[in-house]
Amino acid sequence: MSVELKNPAELRNMFGENLRTLAKDFPSISELSRQLGINRTQFNRYLSGESFPRPDVLARICYFFKVDARVLLEEVEKIQATPTPISSSFLADFLGTGAQSLSEETFPTGFYRFSRRSFMEANKFIIGLVYVKREASNTYIRGYEAKAAMAAQGLQVNSFSREFRGIVLEQDEGVAALVSRRNSMTSSFNYLHRVPSFENNFWVGYTTRTVRESSAGDRATRLVYEHLGSDLSRAREAAKSTGYCDIEDLNPFHRKWLQTDEDFR
């Protein structure tokens, strides 16, 4: 098998181009640099192809973005197009179809604001922000647990620990998402269906968490998703109100669909 050899400049340019592709889903390069533990100025040099990371830094970047060292040699889209386990022959006719057939019209790409009742405190609610994206014909979701919710469970509240990711599947009357924190520490199942609204941008359903029946707090509660589009400024504004809140702090339309005065069944 022949391999196309690249000179150092070509390697730097390929890596920089791939890094820009991987970083485009993050609203802030400063925050991304902080999460990676890399100086912002140095990270910008990687992005521009002016510099190349040490092996240990490269390994950290690859681990963070779930890619391998092929980012030096070929476009990241080709690397990410490698079939994932959910599209393997064993699951293709069961989960693979739902993962790969979800259209933009059914569940569009972009930022979503969500709200639900707190699992731990029945009189409190959680407002959060997630990002939905397409990659290799699959639909993925990414977000961060509220700091207060993590702290209440005695868990670390740094961004690395709070991050969750999942895959979204098309259902007969809506969408389902299987979401997990890093290393499958905790998981949840979400189901959503579209409801009438002025901008046709609301989904309602429920979420369940993977805990034992004897655990404190609820295991299932109603869930509302509001599509905000892909505008970063709108997402940043929405992010300011994320975290724990009281019922009166909820968006009126969210409060309506959460049916806060009725038990979840």
How far is 112 from 132, CA to CA, in rounded Å? 8
How far is 248 from 235, CA to CA, in rounded Å? 21
pLDDT digits 0-9 by tens, 14-43? 888 988 888 887 878 888 898 899 999 999
**For the chain, what is the mean pLDDT?**
86
pLDDT over 90 for what percent of the chain? 43
How far is 159 from 177, CA to CA, in rounded Å? 21
What pLDDT was estimated at residue 166? Answer: 93
The CATH code of the domain at 96-258 is: 2.40.128.120
Same fold, 8-80 and 96-258: no
With beta carbons less than 8 A apart as the criterion, state whether 43 and 20 touch: no
Under-50 pLDDT residues of the chain = 1-3
Q: Does domain 8-80 have CATH number 1.10.260.40?
A: yes
What pLDDT was estimated at residue 2? Answer: 44
Taking the domains of the chain in order of start, what are their residue ranges? Answer: 8-80, 96-258
What pLDDT was estimated at residue 81? Answer: 55
What pLDDT was estimated at residue 211? Answer: 81
List, as one string, the DSSP characters of the chain.
Answer: -------HHHHHHHHHHHHHHHHTTSS-HHHHHHHHT--HHHHHHHHHTS----HHHHHHHHHHHT--GGGGTS-HHHHHTSPPGGGSTTTIIIIIHHHH---TTTS-SEEEEEEEE-SS-TT-EEEEEEEEEEETTEEEEEEE--HHHHHHTT---SHHHHEEEEEEEEETTEEEEEEEEGGGSSEEEEEEEEE--TTS-EEEEEEEE---TTSSS-SEEEEEEEEEES-HHHHHHHHTT-EEE-GGGS-HHHHHHHTTTS---
What pLDDT was estimated at residue 167? Answer: 94
What pLDDT was estimated at residue 88? Answer: 66
